[in-house]
Structure 1
């Protein structure tokens, strides 16, 4: 069992770190860069990125992180390691509620609404659309970034307690 626990622990850290890094990159570069671009270009670029993100490379970090974290917590609990199990279970809960759920209920619907909008030829109309979208989207992205960072930290605490 120690080999399984160790393997799951490392996988949990890697997956949690991958999704935290993904959300973090949007915070500190992608959205700021788009905000500096012509709003028509920003809308078109965001539509393209949102359409491309549903892929086999993104899937494991986004959807399987809570599965791996939960399996790690369960394996640790089964192995009698209650303290590490608690931290991995807490990481699972934080990511599920404030990472995955938030994305599916807030960011994805915003992305789908933006995808339905034809890119305006008028720059002022595009600017209004982009500013409204970008400000709200970034707020919620920062929330899920913080949550996924907390989940990563909790998994780290669990690993240290192992």
Structure 2
């Protein structure tokens, strides 16, 4: 059972790290780069990115991270809890923030951007971009921070597990 508990924690850490890294990458490279583009390029790129990201690999790490974190918490609880369990619970809380922000802010913004239509047919691209960019970028930073915090909590839980602090 110890191996399964550790494996679930490793898997949760890896999936969470992938998600945190994705949002970090957007925060420090993708969005600053697109921020330098003209309105048509910005809207076109974001519309295409928002379609491309809806794939199985993204879903596996994005949704799978929370599932794996919960599995790790349950397995640690069944083994008697301990410090590693509480760090894993903290990771679940941080990752929940990432999920809520995504579903409450970023996805609705993505949907509104898609609903604006093809960039060539949008009368006021600057207005469409203005309603999207600053809010999306700000909340993506929150996602990046929450994901990084979740990853850090899981990394510490793994450290404690390696030291025998899982139970």
- Same fold by TM-score greater than 0.5: yes
Q: Out of 131-140 and 100-109, give the one that drifted further.
A: 131-140
Q: In 2, Cα distance between the equivalents of 1:39 and 1:111? A: 16
Aligned to 1:129: 128
Checking the alignment, whether the CA contact within 8 Å between 1:40 and 1:121 is kept in structure 2 is no
1:20 alignment counterpart: 20
RMSD over aligned CA atoms reads: 1.5
- Counterpart-to-counterpart distance in 1, 2:37 and 2:83: 48
In the TM superposition, what whole-angstrom CA distance separates every residue of 1:98-129 from its partner, at most 9, and x where no partner exists?
A: 11111011100000001011325689x32332
1:78 aligns with 2:78: yes
The corresponding residue for 1:156 is 155
Question: 2:164: which partner in 1?
Answer: none
Indicate the residue corresponding to 2:49 in structure 1: 49
Q: Which runs of 5+ in 2 are unaligned?
A: 162-167
Partner residue of 1:146? 145
Poorly superposed stretches of 4+, deviation over 6 Å: none
CA distance in 2, matches of 1:51, 1:31: 16
